[in-house]
Chain A
Amino acid sequence: MAEVRLRVNGADHPLDIQPQVSLLDALREHLGLTGTKKGCDQGACGACTVLADGERINSCLALAVQYEGAEITTIEGIDHPLQAAFVRHDGFQCGYCTSGQICSAVGMLAEHKEGMPSAVTGQGSGSHLSGAEIRERMSGNLCRCGAYNGIVEAIQEVAG
């Protein structure tokens, strides 16, 4: 067992956990924060996306111990216009991918603001978030219900 202090949604949580426990399992099983979902558990779907110091990561491939000291934000800690936009635009059906989509989109908008290029951005900084930009930047989040059109519209509305 290792004593790990995780900082999640602004509160400190001392935890006694084994070093092999993922951040995803620590959140869900040890802290009861079940908003973050486990889809594939291998980095291939994005359902487990959370923010670590404001940057989106896949919590299933993160060891909780490694993230000691980082400011973790999960869907339970997010209050963002994207949430209402997802409802308005039918950005989900079953909802399983939705917390990951929203955490990812929050991180994505911040990355874009800071000038992070994407595979579809040309030489410029890609100042406008086109549908193609959003699809590429959000490609790490799969939706088995195929709600992609609504997801893109919701993000586009909030991005302006």
Chain B
Amino acid sequence: MRTFSYVRAPDVETALRTIATEPNAKFLGGGTNLVDLMRENIERPDVVVDISRLPLTGIDELPGGGVRIGALVRNSSLAAHPLVRTRYPVVSQAVLGGASAQLRNMATVGGNLLQRTRCLYFYDEASACNKREPGSGCSALGGFTRNHGVLGVSDHCIAAHPSDLCVALAALDAEVEVESTRGTRRIPLTEFHHLPGSTPHVETALAPDELVTSVELPAPVTTRSRYRKVRDRASYAFALVSVAAALEVRDDTVTAARLALGGVAPKPWRATEAERVLLGAPATEESFRSAAEAELASATSQDGNDFKIELARRTIVATLRDLLTDRSAA
């Protein structure tokens, strides 16, 4: 690993000042993605600003029924928190479905939002990759694409976003609060990550000098929510397809639906087309299937990930069915 200088930030102000004045600095949260990428020579910061001791570790109830989650809350603490487990089960399940217990003990909420793709060609310095080296091409096209996206991809990059947590946050209308020496602003989670277009190296709306300070969840439309993840082994693997869903049904009619997909797109994919079909529709398997069809209508695939289109449809239907049959239990 290339060397760098290490600065431990005791407070937010120091963190922001350091990142604003050092031209090639990076924040260090839990380190589970940054340390890996530095070792692979993909991330090459001159200065690493350790923010892991910043006092942004609270999970607090907001007036109105929402919750504010500090950016340095560790993934394991988030999944175990009673407010999260009871009001936003989909968030707790998404986190517990990701990585391993060791990694969840280290990883932070802010770092989870900013983790980078697991595209194998992105990791392999010998391969062409527009994300790693703009303009060099994309080795995934015509390559091994089992882990790649089918929605929102471009001719320049078809990488999938790897986060489970972000899929749940996208479904729940989360907002990200960010801060720099220039001030504070809020970004809806669905606008936080960018689609690749012709600039796959530009991944988020975050400026290089901005710190994620918290994520806010509005009051849930329903506490009946769930995360379903399909992968190559039962645990400790990234999603091939995942679905975060919340469903409210009255008199056999869908009165509220929130749906997002993981593993299939370069960003956590809010399934607005499917939501449109579901709202006001009878809560039946047929409606769920129509919603899934509508969402995947614009999908494009490679030989290696064609299976994901039907797998995504079926996983959407199965997740909604689970929520429907669980009604009495919830």
Near A by CB (< 8 A), chain B positions 23-63 give 28, 30-32, 35-36, 38-39, 48, 50, 52
Near A by CB (< 8 A), chain B positions 179-237 give 234-236
Choose from B3, B36, B105 the contact partner of A20 (Cβ within 8 Å): B3
Interface: A149 (CB within 8 A): no
- B100 and A140 form a contact (CB under 8 A): yes
- B35 and A62 form a contact (CB under 8 A): yes
Q: How many residues of B contact A (CB 8 A)?
A: 37
- B101 and A107 form a contact (CB under 8 A): yes
- B31 and A62 form a contact (CB under 8 A): yes
Which residues in B have their C-beta under 8 angstroms from that of A61?
A: 30-32, 35-36, 103, 106
Beyond A19-B6, A63-B28, A66-B28, whether A118 also contacts B105 by CB under 8 A is no
- A119→B2 CA distance, assembly (Å): 37
- A139→B118 CA distance, assembly (Å): 19
- A58 and B1 form a contact (CB under 8 A): no
**Which one of B30, B85, B101, B106 has the greatest number of beta carbons of chain A within 10 Å?**
B101
Contact indicator per residue, chain B 1-30, by CB within 8 Å of chain A (1) or not (0) = 111111010000000000000000000101
Interface: B102 (CB within 8 A): yes
- A20 and B101 form a contact (CB under 8 A): no
- B235 and A43 form a contact (CB under 8 A): no
Choose from A43, A55, A108, A123 the contact partner of B32 (Cβ within 8 Å): A43
CB of B280 to closest CB in A, whole Å = 30
Which residues in B have their C-beta under 8 angstroms from that of A108?
A: 101
Which residues in A have their C-beta under 8 angstroms from that of B93?
A: 119
- A72→B99 CA distance, assembly (Å): 22
Which residues in A have their C-beta under 8 angstroms from that of B50?
A: 65-66
Near B by CB (< 8 A), chain A positions 139-153 give 139-141
- A49 and B96 form a contact (CB under 8 A): no
Partner-B contacts on A (CB < 8 A): 2, 18-20, 22, 41-43, 46, 49, 55-58, 61-63, 65-66, 104, 107-108, 111, 115-119, 123, 135-137, 139-141
- Could you list 14 examples of A-B contacts with CB < 8 Å? A19-B4, A20-B1, A20-B4, A42-B39, A43-B32, A43-B36, A61-B30, A66-B28, A104-B101, A107-B105, A116-B76, A119-B93, A139-B100, A140-B99
Minimum-distance CB pairs A-B, first 9? A140-B100, A139-B235, A19-B6, A20-B1, A139-B236, A119-B96, A58-B102, A140-B102, A61-B35
